[in-house]
Amino acid sequence: MKARYLVPLAIFLVIVGFLAVGLKMDPKRVPSPLIGKPAPHFELSTLYDPAERITPEKLRGKVWLLNVFASWCVSCRAEHQVVSRFVQMGLAPVYGLNYKDEARDAKEWLRELGNPYEAVIVDPEGDTGIDWGVYGVPETFVIDKKGIIRDKVIGPVTEEILENRLVPLVRKLKEEQG
């Protein structure tokens, strides 16, 4: 065996090394610093009843989802059907966070597509969105019985994410002690 015939193998191994490192730091999956931390506080009114105030503290003791949406957001339309299907399963309530939106537009949007949400929380200025580290709409958070954020889906929830990620997680969280 001559050394020079080993050169291609050596070069290849270096490339594989870089690919492996690149894979480990997969750019598309940015772990949110909020996962594992308590859900940031907010106290906001709802879309249909301005007198009703919702806070994460009030939802302690149950597993719930927060779905950030807006009527101006194209992909929210795409995920709407999937979110509705999740609600129909009856596993956990989904609260909508209407982000930087006009109340009139949001109501029109929900009237057209149907309203799957337990309640729609209104965040017209996007302050709560900033506290929650929202950077693109839609986003979906899963909060456990202790009020800890356990997962965050960036972008629209697809059937695949729903089946393979959210449903198993919610089932697991429901069995945990409150």
Say whether residue 104 binds another protein (CB under 8 A). Answer: no
CA–CA separation, 171 and 1 (whole Å):
58
Binding piece for another protein, criterion CB under 8 A, among 25-33, 47-55, 115-123, 140-148: 25-33
**Count, residues in the chain:** 178
Say whether residue 18 binds another protein (CB under 8 A). Answer: yes
**Rounded to the nearest whole angstrom, what is the least distance from the CB of residue 41 to another protein in the complex?**
13
Which of 35, 78, 119, 169 touches another protein (CB under 8 A)?
Answer: 78
Say whether residue 51 binds another protein (CB under 8 A). Answer: no
Among 77, 119, 128, which residue's Cα sits nearest to residue 99?
A: 128
**Rounded to the nearest whole angstrom, what is the least distance from the CB of residue 120 to another protein in the complex?**
17
For another protein (CB under 8 A), the number of binding residues is 51
CA–CA separation, 63 and 102 (whole Å):
28
Instruction: Answer for the pair 94, 116: CB distance below 8 angstroms, yes or no.
Output: yes
Say whether residue 90 binds another protein (CB under 8 A). Answer: no
Q: Within 10 A of 87 (CB to CB), how many other CB atoms are there?
A: 19
CA–CA separation, 17 and 89 (whole Å):
44
Which of 38, 50, 53, 74 touches another protein (CB under 8 A)?
Answer: 74
Phi-psi region of 132 (alpha: psi -120 to 50; beta: other; left: phi over 0): alpha
Q: Site residues (CB under 8 A) for another protein?
A: 1-2, 5-6, 8-9, 12-13, 15-16, 18-30, 32-33, 70, 72-75, 77-78, 81-82, 85, 99-100, 126, 129-130, 133, 135-137, 154-156, 158-160, 163
